[in-house]
Amino acid sequence: MTFGFAPSSAASASSADLSAASANPLARVLEPAEWAAAGIPLLRNPREVVSGLHSRHCPRPATAIVAVLDPDERLCASASFTRRPAPADGWMSRNVLLAQLRRVIPHDLRRRTPVRTAVLLYCREGDARWTEEDGAWMWGLRDACTLHGLRCGAYITLTRDGWQVLGEGRGGRRPSADSTPEPFATSEAPPPKPRTGGAASDVLRRAAAR
């Protein structure tokens, strides 16, 4: 005898919606209005974040940088990678971003409320106007953050005209896709001072000097 549960009408509708979304890549794209309505937290100093990521990764067109920031917007971890030519599809973008996040930082799924925020900077050709490719990255970032226990943060494009936080209207001319990297931004935590190890370490150093 086999026991089971008959799917409810709501579950059936949900499955149908998922099937339709997976069959239609355009359903996995967010437009700027949808992104703005999602309540994405604003960066306090977006230029500082952009400059720091640009200095660290020196992106060129088709390079994406996913970064995780702590509550004070200090960089916890980041990874850069080159996007392979493919149709704009948020599901594929989500998988790539999730793989990078899992590689550089543990998940926060045990927390009731996300503490760290993931942002995405994408260096590409063209101008700052929204494209379907941007929409796929937005969809992918939002979904990857949910699956990794992070807050979904800003999506930023970097072109030869400068940088632009999509959905916010904030941007600047430097850095750009062509500009020389600046010194690391002050938003990043300074490297910790080396620990001396106390008196025992001093004894070992004196012994080695003999």
183 — pLDDT class (breaks 50, 70, 90): low
Q: Which residue has the tokens 């920031």?
A: 69
**Distance (Å, rounded) from C-alpha 81 to C-alpha 127?**
21
**Predicted local distance difference test score (pLDDT) of residue 138:** 96
**Distance (Å, rounded) from C-alpha 32 to C-alpha 128?**
12
201 — pLDDT class (breaks 50, 70, 90): very low
Q: What would the pLDDT profile of 96-137 be if each residue is shown by its tens digit?
A: 999 999 999 999 998 889 999 999 999 999 988 999 999 999
Q: What would the pLDDT profile of 138-151 be if each residue is shown by its tens digit?
A: 999 999 999 999 99
Q: Is residue 157, in this structure, part of any structural domain at all?
A: yes
**Distance (Å, rounded) from C-alpha 49 to C-alpha 47?**
5
Three-class secondary structure of residue 69 per DSSP: strand
**Highest mean pLDDT (candidates 160-164, 188-192, 204-208):** 160-164
CATH for 41: 3.40.140.10
Task: Tell me the whole-structure pTM to 2 decimals.
Answer: 0.75
Q: What distance, in Å, lies between the first and last C-alpha atoms of the chain?
A: 82
**Distance (Å, rounded) from C-alpha 180 to C-alpha 89?**
31
Q: Is residue 13, in this structure, part of any structural domain at all?
A: no
**Which residue type occupies 21?**
A
Number of domains the chain is built from: 1
Three-class secondary structure of residue 66 per DSSP: strand
Q: Is residue 175, in this structure, part of any structural domain at all?
A: no
Q: Is residue 203, in this structure, part of any structural domain at all?
A: no
Q: Is residue 156, in this structure, part of any structural domain at all?
A: yes
87 — pLDDT class (breaks 50, 70, 90): confident
**Structural domain of 72:** 24-168
36 — pLDDT class (breaks 50, 70, 90): confident
**Highest mean pLDDT (candidates 32-41, 88-97, 185-194):** 88-97
Phi and psi, residue 127, nearest 5°: -100, -170
Q: Which of 36-40, 64-68, 105-109, 138-142 has the lowest mean pLDDT?
A: 36-40
Q: Is residue 9, in this structure, part of any structural domain at all?
A: no
Q: Is residue 4, in this structure, part of any structural domain at all?
A: no
